[in-house]
Chain A
Amino acid sequence: MKSLILRDLKLAFRSGGGFALTLAFFLIVVMFVPFGVGANLELLSRIAPGILWIGALLSCLLSLDRIFQLDWEDGTLEALATSPIPLSGIATAKACAHWITTGLPITIAAIPLGYLLNLPTDAYTWLIASLALGTPALSFIGAFGAAITVGIKRGGLLLSLLVLPLYIPTLMLGAQVVATGTQNPAQLLALVAAISLLSIALIPPACAIALRANLR
């Protein structure tokens, strides 16, 4: 499993950086908001948590089809399926690799982007904490969507339609943690972490069923 994660990481870093693309996309999404709503700093600081979370979510979505698609096309996935690691383990490894290449950089990149959006200074701790604890859920749920649509030609749009509704609770709670005037952010943060843990526990077996159905 470790070697599988390492392999995916090497692929991501060496083959024309899915990693840098994600961050560039994140920057562009965040940059577009002032273009769309105007450069009013007060307004920006109020909507910054939501923008950063939506930006993180969309950047995450962008790289989901890479999780299984390429391995599916060249037959690696079938080889992996016959390996001694169970399919749910493979799904876990791939979701972890996806998190390291998207969730982690997004969390770090959110700090400078927060400055761009005039995020209140006391919100940074919550921003980092909520993204760090929330993005694993995004990667695992995304891996599930990718496992379902792996056999479908031009499944990219369908993937978004399937995955985005599943992202709703994470987004709602995650952005709420960072928002100003939230009564009890620590409690919400615990709920975000709970969603991540639930996804990590629940999604890999579901991924395995989906992959097995697709490989049949």
Chain B
Amino acid sequence: MSLWEYANPAKFMALSGRILPTLTIGAAVLLFGGLIWGFFGTPADYKQGSTVKIIFLHVPTALMAINAWIMMLVASLIWLVRRHHVSALAAKAAAPIGMTMTLIALATGAIWGKPMWGTYWAWDPRLTSFMILLVFYFGYLALWEAIEDKDTAADLTSILCIVGSVFALLSRYAVNFWSQGLHQGASLSLDKEQHVDNAFYFPLLVCIGGMVLLFITLVLVRTRTEIRARRLGALRAREV
């Protein structure tokens, strides 16, 4: 019994079908609970007023935007090394979700930035990095759409994801040389030295947990859709 058994689409379908309801409920409870706790159960910040509460949406989506890409990277590597179709399809399934998370993080940041920084957009390293991440998602998704043969598409998108990761990381550090920061430091860190007050910390953790579960749920649903679409395609091809 190993993890690789779930590379078998039938086994993957069975397992994901079994855990999906629990995951969905968990994601809904955590996300709604965390957001309601965050929006109504926390005090307004002494400087930022109630606008600070956008953090409960901004931070989890920003976190998942990056983690989605990392997940795609791992799935791409698994596809290139072990040729498990489920892995390639999971990477494909995660991309639009990651792109949406990036967009939400950029949008919530802009909405928060207008009253706080006095501007929707600034060419700050973090903001710029997210814009760059967004164009990487665009390229990746466009490549999936452009190629007809499924295995070739999986190969090429995987290698693009890997090379893209290297250059995305380079861009992340190159922007530091290129512009000065406006964005505040990390809101969360494992050492207690610098992170937000506990009143915000715990609901934020709940929201992040909810967003992680939501991401896993959506990836599973979309992967299942892809697998079914693939099966349908195979059935059609057999009939012709």
Contacts and interface: CB of A to CB of B under 8 A. Distances in A.
A binds B: yes
Interface of A: 141, 144, 148-149, 151-152, 155, 158, 161-162, 164-166, 168-169, 172-173, 176, 188, 191, 195, 198, 202-203, 206, 209-210, 213-214, 216
Interface residues of B, number: 28
A152 B152 CA distance: 11
Given A155-B146, A162-B143, A213-B152, A173 B138 contact: no
B175 to A, nearest CB: 7
Contacts of B174: 168-169, 172-173, 191
A166 B166 CA distance: 9
Interface in B158-184: 159-160, 162-164, 166-168, 170-171, 174-175, 177-178
B116 interface: no
Contacts of B156: 148, 210, 213-214
A203 B170 contact: no
Contact of A165 (B147, B167, B177): B167
B49 to A, nearest CB: 35
The DSSP consensus for interface residues of chain A is: helix
A85 B28 CA distance: 56
B164 A172 contact: no
B139 interface: yes
A141 B168 CA distance: 13
Nearest to B132: A168
Nearest to B147: A152
B80 to A, nearest CB: 7
Contacts of A214: 152, 156
B232 interface: no
B39 interface: no
B124 to A, nearest CB: 14
B155 A209 contact: yes
A144 B139 CA distance: 14
Closest 7 CB pairs of A and B: A213-B155, A169-B174, A169-B170, A165-B135, A166-B167, A162-B139, A172-B174
A169 B167 contact: yes
B152 A172 contact: no
A57 to B, nearest CB: 14
Given A144-B163, A176-B177, A188-B177, A161 B170 contact: no
Contacts of B166: 198, 202
Contacts of B163: 144, 166, 202-203, 206
Given A168-B174, A203-B163, 15 more contacts: A144-B163, A148-B143, A149-B146, A152-B147, A158-B142, A162-B142, A165-B135, A165-B164, A165-B167, A168-B167, A172-B174, A172-B175, A172-B177, A188-B177, A206-B162
B136 interface: yes
A151 B147 CA distance: 8
A104 to B, nearest CB: 23
A73 B135 CA distance: 30
Contacts of B132: 165, 168
B14 to A, nearest CB: 31
Nearest to A171: B174
B135 A164 contact: yes
Nearest to B135: A165
A216 B150 CA distance: 12
A209 B164 contact: no
A172 B166 CA distance: 16
Q: Which of A162, A188, A195 has the most CB of B within 10 A?
A: A162
A162 B174 CA distance: 19
B159 A161 contact: no
A86 B166 CA distance: 24
Interface string B62-78: 00000000000000000
Interface in B163-218: 163-164, 166-168, 170-171, 174-175, 177-178
Q: Which of B156, B162, B163 has the most CB of A within 10 A?
A: B163
A161 B160 CA distance: 12
Contacts of A166: 163-164, 167
